Structure 1
């Protein structure tokens, strides 16, 4: 990183019961990245071009590969306009015993002036949630064809209210009183899903569903633009018929999410 402006750096990590090669495939290939995160077009070499398809959560981002060391290190930089920040993202994959590995994401925001610490921290929080999706995908659905069901609706509440909004989201999904590893079934007035709770935090829920098809649903109350609080669904549906199920279920999730955001903002 050659930017000499002030650095605001965050770290996130997760252990995954998979080899570095399996994780590398999930991080750096188009089919792998689309199955748990933003679909990414990556030119596999240092200096190569990167395009991150962030819709509907934000505009596409364009970056340059700054490190390409399969299967252990991948990094890229997004350079904004002259007065904007540079965002550097680095994946480090380290093998552990018994066939597992640790994945670390180091995110650096480089900019002059005040007000960047909070934005950098939000970026780090976003990566902590994303790595939970990565772990569940690699553990349960690696190499499965995937369809996306991504939605976001703003909430009329300050970002500091995310835990309160998250509690309402969990209740609306029928998750109150549950814990990680518990079976779940959504109530009649929510989109149909049942399966296992992968993660249940104050403002982020990760569900591994068996119905309506094998799927991961990450539901968060989080400012995706680091400013405006929104309720967000990151859905990944797996298997040969996943695309048809996603098309059928997307309107149901959108209607539920819109109603939930409206009720929460009152």
Structure 2
């Protein structure tokens, strides 16, 4: 998504998606801690002007922002810095919910920052591509598990580049390589249990991505995607499990999948 510039000189990028649900139901999913945790990453939200939003992307990787505008169930804005260096800009992230006919809404996220140059353009363009991916998870959550609190699992391994080779090395032993939308998939007996139907299987610009609606180890969603960075490929698996047994299933799955990834790929170093 291209970087734009508004009349005030702010640079901005945005992404949006149409999702099922009323504005109140969609707001619950994008503006509360339990809601965000159920389709994105473990999060906490103090829903008020001056309140904090904390999103945890892994050990030692918390993203902190402060709410500057709060207008449920339509819009909120939170300011943050990414902590990527002394000159990284303060970014205002705006979330907007717009009602549509037929019990649907459009969700839009806009990142705005002020800089004279384009030093951070690529970074925030990457953010919007990430949102497009997570919005697919949000859409599936609202379609099949709306209002349910999810028990999340986040695990990661590291493989050498290139990305496509790392993807094959990761997914082929799991019986997932080359899976197509609508296909029923199931991991083999020597891997942690995962079974369901493929809902998304990448696109021409990024074919290495899977979104699976799960029925095992519990009803839920699995999202698998590799990211090339710093000469390595980070293999990220996120599970969102629902139902009464979800917390226990998530704890067991997290331990099993992290052990499997560490056996087959390099463990991820935890920041000090």
Same fold at TM > 0.5: yes
- What CA RMSD, in Å, does the superposition of the two structures yield over aligned residues? 2.7
Structure 1 SS opposite 2:240: strand
Counterpart position of 2:182: 181
Counterpart position of 1:54: 57
Native 8 Å contact 1:109 1:120 kept in 2: no
Counterpart position of 1:142: 146
Counterpart position of 2:201: 200
Counterpart position of 1:222: 227
Instruction: Point out the more displaced range, 65-74 or 103-112.
Output: 103-112
Instruction: Point out the more displaced range, 173-182 or 25-34.
Output: 173-182
Q: 1:147 to 1:180 in 2, by over 3 A?
A: same
Does residue 45 of the first structure (1) align with residue 48 of the second (2)?
yes
Q: 1:60 to 1:209 in 2, by over 3 A?
A: same
Counterpart position of 2:3: none
Q: 1:109 to 1:153 in 2, by over 3 A?
A: farther
Structure 2 SS opposite 1:125: helix
Does residue 130 of the first structure (1) align with residue 131 of the second (2)?
no
Compute the displacement of 1:253 (Å): 1.0
Inter-partner Cα distance in structure 1 for 2:260 and 2:247: 20
- As a proportion of its length, which structure holds more helix? 1
- Unaligned 5+ runs, structure 2: 1-5, 267-272
Inter-partner Cα distance in structure 2 for 1:135 and 1:75: 22
Paired residue for 2:107, among 80, 103, 108? 103
Native 8 Å contact 2:88 2:120 kept in 1: no
Inter-partner Cα distance in structure 1 for 2:63 and 2:188: 37
Inter-partner Cα distance in structure 2 for 1:30 and 1:78: 17
How many residues get paired? 254
Inter-partner Cα distance in structure 2 for 1:6 and 1:173: 45
Given the two structures, how large is their TM-score scaled by the length of structure 1? 0.83
- Unaligned 5+ runs, structure 1: none
Inter-partner Cα distance in structure 2 for 1:25 and 1:251: 29
Does residue 69 of the first structure (1) align with residue 74 of the second (2)?
no
